[in-house]
């Protein structure tokens, strides 16, 4: 049952983009959605994680199956505002496209999920099963929102998961994991004319990172959908004066993991390299300050098959099933769900996420508000 006109659906999206939830202030988004859901007889609960950050949870229907639907409420910073063609926090329409920060990633997806739930509820749907919305904080940095949902047990009884990240008419059931690691090497400063009086802190990292490049880049381990692990040193600092032996050096690395070479194995390999280095008198410590697991569910599953069929009627062409390059909240939400779980990432949007002049196609957004309703009910009734 249509509750909203197209104009009202667009207004909801405009309101959401106007809330500057740049990896914080998600409480304002959660409160807005709570009120919107409440106006349509759906109780939603804020789950505060700090003063300005709260997850949001809401349910319609009852019993099993339980379909989890999820979207994040934070956005990335707009960057150079002057580089934008229009105010990034004021949705602006040009030639069928709606521009704004976070509109593709992923306020359009979030709005479409909420609108779909409201319209289903108004129509007395779902006749069978439950739809549970889990709107998260901090997906762009830290993924603390999805971690909190997982820790609180909100995923325990969920039978299938849909994340509305921007994919457009493509369906994803797998993505790589991600790890951020920092190495700190302690040396001893000395005049560079008498290096024997000091200990060069950069040397151990050069050797260690060289070995790590070998270990991670020259491996045959690969995943059919995701390809190979990637390992990159992305930040390197050491020394402060050209004629002094450096006392401290640090390196930070980002690693994109696959199930065949997962976060635990990467940790083991790195730890071994550090231990070997320290056995030769170096003093290197390792800090893994972010670790998200890879996700891999079967390409063909109950949700992806339905999404492909329903999606094709809107796309006007086949909707391919692929693997996603970026990490999502699924790294947390799907912990312990095994490798045969109905999971998809499927939402309105495109590849302009995090870019200047980010946009979503107006019609695609409107279509997803309907498409989601068909997907949700057909999955639950299947």
Half-sphere exposure of 307 (CA within 13 A, CB side): 31
Q: Nearest distance from residue 33's CB to Zn ion, in Å?
A: 17
For residue 47, what are the CA distances in angstroms to 21, 57, 149? 16, 8, 9
Q: Which residue is nearest to Zn ion (CB)?
A: 105
CB-nearer residue toward Zn ion: 147 or 159: 147
| C-beta of 13 vs 202, nearer to Zn ion | 13
Q: Is 139 a catalytic residue?
A: yes
Nearer Cβ to Zn ion (165/358): 165
Nearer to Zn ion, 159 or 329 (CB): 329
Least distance in angstroms from the C-beta of 303 to Zn ion: 19
| Least spacing, CB of residue 372 vs Zn ion, in Å | 17
CB of 72 to Zn ion, least distance (A): 6
Q: Which of 26, 74, 140, 165 is catalytic?
A: 74
Question: In DSSP terms, which residues pair with 48 in a beta bridge?
Answer: 54
CB of 336 to Zn ion, least distance (A): 23
SS3 readout for the chain = CCCCCHHHHHHHHHHHHHCCCECCCHHHHHHHHHHHHHHCCCCEEEEECCCCCEEEEEEEEECCCEEEEEEECCECCCCCHHHCCCCCCCCEEECCEEECCCHHHHHHHHHHHHHHHHHHHHCCCCCCEEEEEEEECCCCCCCHHHHHHHHCCCCCCCCEEEECCCCCCCEEEEECEEEEEEEEEECECEECCCHHHCECCHHHHHHHHHHHHHHHHCCCCEECCCEECEEEEEEEEECCCCCEECCEEEEEEEEEEECCECHHHHHHHHHHHHHHHHHCCCEEEEEEEEEECCEECCCCCHHHHHHHHHHHHHHCCCCCEEEECCCCCHHHHCCCCCCCCCEEECCCCCCCCCCCCCEEEHHHHHHHHHHHHHHHHHHHHC
Q: Which is nearer to Zn ion, 106 or 307 (CB)?
A: 106
Quote the CA–CA distance of 379 and 382 in Å, as a whole number: 5
Minimum CB distance to Zn ion smaller for 169 or for 261: 169
Comparing CB distances to Zn ion, the nearer of 260 and 357 is: 357
Q: Which is nearer to Zn ion, 104 or 369 (CB)?
A: 104
Rounded to 5 degrees, φ, ψ at 81 are: -60, -30
Distance CA 14, CA 72 (A): 16
H/E element, 177: strand 177-186
Out of 26, 119, 139, 367, the active site residue is 139
Radius of gyration of the chain (CA): 23
Would residue 74 show up in a list of annotated catalytic residues for this protein? yes
CB of 217 to Zn ion, least distance (A): 28
Dist. CA 109–CA 112, nearest whole Å: 5
Minimal distance, residue 104 CB to Zn ion, in Å: 9
Contacts with Zn ion, residue ranges (CB under 5 A): 105-106, 165
Residue 240 Cβ vs Zn ion, minimum distance, rounded to whole Å = 38
- Residues known to be catalytic: 74, 139
């Amino acid at each position: 049952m249509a509750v909203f006109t197209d104009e009202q659906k667009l207004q909801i999206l405009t309101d959401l983009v106007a809330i500057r939830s740049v990896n914080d202030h998600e409480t304002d988004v959660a409160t807005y959605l709570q009120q919107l859901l409440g106006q349509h007889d759906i109780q939603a609960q804020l789950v505060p994680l700090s003063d300005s950050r709260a997850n949001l949870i809401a349910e319609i229907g009852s019993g099993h199956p339980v379909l989890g639907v999820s979207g994040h409420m934070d956005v990335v910073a707009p960057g150079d505002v002057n580089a934008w063609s229009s105010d990034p926090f004021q949705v602006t329409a040009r030639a069928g496209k709606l521009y704004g920060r976070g509109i593709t990633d992923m306020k359009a997806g979030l709005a479409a999920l909420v609108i779909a739930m409201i319209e289903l509820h108004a129509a007395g749907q779902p006749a069978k099963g439950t739809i549970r919305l889990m709107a998260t904080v901090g997906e762009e940095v830290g993924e603390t929102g999805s971690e909190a949902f997982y820790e609180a047990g909100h995923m325990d009884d969920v039978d299938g998961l849909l994340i509305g990240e921007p994919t457009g008419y493509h369906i994803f059931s797998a993505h790589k994991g991600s790890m951020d690691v920092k190495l700190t090497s302690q040396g001893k400063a000395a005049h560079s004319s008498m290096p024997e009086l000091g200990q060069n802190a950069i040397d151990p990292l050069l050797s260690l990172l060289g070995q790590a490049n070998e270990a991670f880049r020259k491996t045959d381990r690969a995943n059919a959908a995701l390809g190979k692990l990637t390992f990159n040193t992305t930040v390197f600092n050491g020394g402060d004066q050209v004629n002094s032996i450096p006392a401290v050096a640090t390196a930070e690395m980002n690693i994109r993991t696959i199930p065949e070479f997962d976060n635990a194995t990467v940790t083991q390999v790195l730890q071994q390299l550090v231990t070997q280095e320290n056995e030769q008198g170096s003093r290197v410590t390792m800090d893994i300050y972010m670790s998200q697991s890879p996700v891999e569910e079967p390409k063909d599953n109950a949700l992806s098959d339905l999404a492909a069929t329903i999606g094709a009627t809107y796309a006007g062409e086949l909707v391919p099933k692929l693997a996603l390059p970026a990490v999502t909240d699924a790294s947390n939400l799907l912990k312990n769900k095994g490798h045969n779980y109905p999971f998809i990432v499927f939402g309105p949007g495109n590849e302009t996420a995090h870019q200047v002049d980010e946009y979503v196609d107006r019609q695609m957004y409107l279509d997803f508000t309907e498409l989601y309703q068909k997907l949700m009910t057909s999955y639950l009734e299947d």
